[in-house]
């Protein structure tokens, strides 16, 4: 027995070798290096032109316009979408029908078509007026004066965003179980208190992931406003390359700005999701690094090998 025990002590634990994993990683890494080498050494990319225009005044104005359109459309879109979601969940068939039709229509019509319709609304209604029977016309103005390119873009973006936001909010509210509502009623909560203290905190966990994706998508959707000559970041790049004929470098400037803005929004989305997901599980507090693909697997692998 002593000899067997001595032989057991000499045994070494050898970790499993993942040859396929290392081979696939090597192939992908070689492809990435080759692509990076091609981009850096290809003179047609004109990195000097990109660096020169990246913080140009016109480009920065376009970035501010893009952020402004995104913020306005997201805030108003989700506010109006929440109203539509509550209408859809109402027991009033008229409210349900109106909410369903609105969502069906604005989700079915492409964003670019909506933008053109609002931009050319004067063809349908040359004047917009407010009248009260018995008192006559109280206010009137020309549609062209009221609906500028900026206001047409805002209206189209808000209408488009609210239709998608309504479905996201509705799904989040319906994810809360009836047992939670019955428990709140048993405690004597009023309907407003039930919604604020019971439904909303739990619904936000289901709402935030798709809402974050929708906000990022909305930022990119604002690029369509360039077709009505509204100076967003894409239109600013177009103005410059129409003058200098440096098409690819200016399009790459716009691309880098979109990547930067969406990356910031993605980081913000992670922390907002973590805030609303607190208390759901007792696991350790997540960090942005730990959420990266492969981090948790590598950590588990190290713990097995150490054990």
Distance CA 76, CA 71 (A): 8
Distance CA 261, CA 63 (A): 9
Cα–Cα distances in Å, from 136 out to 12, 169, 302? 95, 41, 79
**pLDDT per position as a tens digit, 2-23:** 555 555 566 677 677 778 888 8
Domain 46-276 matching CATH 1.10.3720.10: the answer reads yes
Distance CA 174, CA 166 (A): 12
* Lowest-pLDDT range of 41-45, 217-221, 246-250, 288-292: 288-292
Look at the alpha carbons of 144, 150, 156, 158 in this order and tell me if their dihedral is positive or negative.
negative
- Flag whether pLDDT at 274 surpasses 70: yes
What pLDDT band is residue 221 in, cutting at 50, 70 and 90?
Answer: very high
Distance CA 306, CA 301 (A): 9
Tokens in use for 179? 């047992």
**pLDDT per position as a tens digit, 141-157:** 777 777 888 999 999 99
CB-based burial label for 27 (10 Å; 0-12, 13-18, 19+): exposed
Rg (CA), the chain: 28
Query: Residue 63: helix, strand or coil by DSSP?
Result: helix
Instruction: Report pLDDT for 292.
Output: 58
Instruction: Report pLDDT for 19.
Output: 80
Instruction: Report pLDDT for 257.
Output: 95
H-assigned helices in the chain = 2-10, 19-41, 47-54, 57-88, 93-108, 111-119, 143-146, 149-174, 178-186, 191-194, 200-221, 233-244, 247-276, 295-306
Q: Residues 275, 201: contact at Cβ < 8 Å?
A: no
Section 270-284 average pLDDT: 71
Interhelix angle 247-276/57-88, nearest 10 degrees: 40
* 106-130 burial code (b ≥16 CB/10 A, e <16): beeeebeebbbbbbebeeeeeeeee
Section 25-37 average pLDDT: 91
- Flag whether pLDDT at 304 surpasses 50: no
pLDDT > 70 fraction of the chain, expressed in percent and rounded: 85
Domain ranges of the chain: 46-276
* Lowest-pLDDT range of 83-97, 220-234, 264-278, 289-303: 289-303
Instruction: Report pLDDT for 288.
Output: 61
Section 75-91 average pLDDT: 92
Instruction: Report pLDDT for 305.
Output: 47
Q: Taking the C-alpha atoms of 206, 211, 213 and 216 in order, what is their torsion angle to the nearest 10 degrees?
A: -160
User: Which residue pairs from 104-108 have beta carbons closer than 8 angstroms and sit at least 24 positions apart in sequence?
Assistant: 105/163, 106/159, 106/160, 106/162, 106/163, 107/163, 107/164, 107/167
Instruction: Report pLDDT for 126.
Output: 80
Section 219-231 average pLDDT: 91
Distance CA 270, CA 286 (A): 10
pLDDT > 90 fraction of the chain, expressed in percent and rounded: 44
- Flag whether pLDDT at 41 surpasses 70: yes
Instruction: Report pLDDT for 195.
Output: 78
- φ and ψ of 246, to 5 deg: -95, 70
| Whole-number average pLDDT of the chain | 84
Tokens 């859809």 correspond to 88
Q: What angle do CA 230, 235, 240 make, to 5 degrees?
A: 130
Instruction: Report pLDDT for 280.
Output: 60
């Amino acid at each position: 027995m002593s000899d067997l025990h001595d032989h057991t002590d000499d045994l070494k634990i050898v970790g499993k070798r993942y040859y396929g994993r290392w081979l696939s990683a090597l192939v992908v890494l070689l492809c990435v290096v080759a692509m990076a080498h091609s981009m850096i050494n290809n003179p047609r990319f004109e990195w000097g032109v990109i660096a020169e225009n990246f913080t140009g005044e016109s480009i920065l104005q376009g970035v501010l316009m893009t952020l402004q359109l995104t913020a306005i459309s997201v805030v108003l879109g989700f506010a109006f979408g929440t109203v539509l979601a509550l209408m859809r969940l109402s027991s009033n068939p008229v409210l349900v029908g109106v909410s369903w039709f609105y969502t069906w229509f604005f989700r079915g019509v492409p964003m670019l078509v909506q933008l053109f319709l609002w931009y050319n609304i004067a063809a349908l209604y040359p004047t917009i007026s407010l009248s009260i029977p018995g008192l006559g016309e109280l206010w009137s103005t020309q549609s062209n004066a009221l609906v500028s390119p900026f206001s047409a873009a805002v209206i189209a973006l808000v209408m488009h965003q609210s239709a998608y936001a309504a479905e996201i909010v509705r799904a989040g509210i319906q994810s809360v179980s009836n047992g939670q509502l019955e428990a709140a009623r048993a405690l004597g909560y009023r309907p407003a208190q039930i919604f604020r203290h019971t439904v909303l905190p739990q619904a936000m966990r289901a709402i935030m992931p798709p809402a974050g994706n929708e906000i990022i998508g909305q930022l990119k959707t604002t690029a369509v406003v360039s077709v009505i000559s509204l100076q967003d970041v894409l239109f600013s790049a177009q103005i410059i390359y129409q003058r200098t004929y440096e098409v690819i470098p200016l399009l790459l400037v716009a691309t880098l700005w979109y990547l930067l803005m969406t990356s910031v929004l993605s980081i913000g989305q992670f922390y907002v999701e973590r805030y609303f997901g607190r208390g759901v599980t007792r696991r350790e507090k997540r960090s942005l690094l730990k959420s990266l693909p492969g981090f948790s697997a590598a950590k588990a692998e190290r713990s097995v090998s150490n054990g």
